[in-house]
């Protein structure tokens, strides 16, 4: 009986250790932000041109995810998700862009360039379209911001 009990306890300890290590590794793995596919919202074929992840550059920034896409017309779509230490830092950043007020969604259009800025708590999502010959529906850019 003692050998059986020792065996059961040993197996239980191993299972608990494996589960604990798995939980720790899951919680310590970095979060990866994947932007929505621009082709689904804007049509055409968009390819990822460049991307980076950083935690430097803006006061209160915890993590910034940057993705730049390009289409066959050389139009750009830039998707940026910034996670700040608090909503105050997020609001300060948006104010530094020239937007003010207490809205959660801001848009601007200048020629073929369109910009959407979405604030959700301590997270700011920017979707910037830089067109060469035309605009895209601003609603599509808003959709990308909300779904990203």
d(CA 19, CA 10): 14
pLDDT digits (tens, 9 = 90+) for 21-43: 444 444 444 566 788 899 999 99
At 53, is the pLDDT very low, low, confident or very high (cuts 50, 70, 90)? very high
pLDDT digits (tens, 9 = 90+) for 54-109: 999 899 999 999 999 999 999 999 999 999 999 999 999 999 999 988 899 999 99
d(CA 117, CA 94): 8
d(CA 101, CA 116): 15
Residue 117 backbone dihedrals phi, psi, to 5 degrees: -125, 125
Is residue 72 a contact partner of residue 47, using CB atoms and an 8 Å limit?
no
Length of the chain as a residue count: 148
pTM: 0.78
């Amino acid at each position: 009986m003692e050998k059986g009990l020792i065996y059961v306890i040993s197996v239980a300890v191993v299972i608990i250790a494996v589960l604990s290590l798995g939980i720790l590794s899951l919680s310590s793995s970095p979060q990866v932000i994947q932007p929505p596919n621009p082709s689904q919202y804007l049509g055409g074929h968009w390819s990822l041109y460049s991307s980076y992840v950083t935690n430097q550059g803006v006061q209160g920034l915890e993590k910034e995810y940057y993705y730049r896409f390009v289409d066959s017309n050389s139009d750009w779509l830039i998707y940026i998700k910034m996670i700040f230490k608090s909503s105050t830092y997020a609001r300060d950043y948006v104010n530094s862009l020239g937007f003010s007020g207490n809205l959660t969604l801001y848009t601007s259009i200048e020629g073929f360039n369109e910009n959407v800025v979405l604030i959700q708590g301590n997270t700011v999502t920017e979707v910037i379209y830089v067109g060469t010959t035309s605009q895209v529906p601003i609603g599509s850019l808003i959709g990308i911001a909300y779904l990203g």
